[in-house]
Amino acid sequence: MRPPSPRWFLSLVLVLAIDPSPAAVVFYSDAFEWRNAVEGEVRFNLATPGNIALADEVDSVPGPNTGLGKTLTFSAANTGFGTDIQLRALQQGAGFTFDDNEGTGPEWAGLSVGDINDYQNDNWQATFSPATVSAFGWYLGDNGNSNNESFMVYNAADELIATLEAIPASGLSDFIGFISTEPVGRVVFDEGAGGDDIAINEIFLAVTPEPSGLLMAAFAVPLALRRRRPGGRQAR
């Protein structure tokens, strides 16, 4: 029986590298378990004034109760994330406030969404460029009402691939995270307009390998198969 042609192996490996199985997204509510399952995550503390000052839209280190506008863009060169990340408040007229002094407790030390008591439908999103994110986590602060709330994950083609509807509502600081087999382009938190206010305290992120690395691995196997020793024996 003749051995399979190296071209057959090339086709098979390229299919595996370029056309993976459908995306699988696993959600986590325990930060310790999520971090144990993720490799190479980077933590970014939104309660640190110097970190907020790294945003393209922020001119100086903010003090307590500083309004920051509706968009915060953090360059990969400043955060170490490996991808640019943009946070955006989605309710019309709403923005982010740093260390909102209308709140009490450590969960308000980061970013409040929509400012306390001013905007109640505190939807926000994080967009990643390039869309190479494989894992993301964040702390939801002071969520007192989880009715009609969800956390949605979109792939690089902006297709919805997963939705978490079991949103914690302890009123303290709760972790929400996920790991995806498909690169993620953005996430959206859809907050119910129930009269409560929310905060974002910390974000965690990990990125996938560059696609070029997968292609190089795909070509390595068939190229090795074509190297043979004199006499027709395959090289080892």
- Within 8 A by CB and 6+ apart from 196, the residues are 120, 142, 143, 144, 145
- Residue 122: band (very low, low, confident or very high) from pLDDT cuts 50, 70, 90: confident
Q: Is the dihedral of CA 148, 141, 73, 130 positive or negative?
A: negative
DSSP label of 8: H
Between 65 and 18, residue with greater pLDDT: 65
State how far the alpha carbon of 26 is from the alpha carbons of 29, 37, 144, 164, 182, in Å.
Answer: 10, 11, 24, 10, 11
Q: Which of 71-75, 97-101, 212-216 has the lowest mean pLDDT?
A: 212-216
Classify burial at 200, counting beta carbons within 10 Å of its beta carbon; exposed 0-12, middle 13-18, buried 19 or more.
buried
- Residue 113: band (very low, low, confident or very high) from pLDDT cuts 50, 70, 90: confident
How far does Cα 12 stand from its chain's mean position?
Answer: 31
Mean of per-residue pLDDT scores for the chain: 77
- Residue 33: band (very low, low, confident or very high) from pLDDT cuts 50, 70, 90: very high
Predicted confidence at residue 121, as pLDDT, reads 65
Instruction: Delineate the domains of the chain, giving CATH numbers in brackets.
Output: 38-208 (2.60.120.260)
pLDDT digit string, tens, across residues 80-104: 889 999 999 988 878 888 987 765 5
CA-nearest of 105, 131, 100, 135 to 115 is: 100
Q: Under a CB-based contact definition with an 8 Å cutoff, are residues 180 and 24 in contact?
A: yes
Model pTM score: 0.76
Percent of the chain with pLDDT over 70: 68
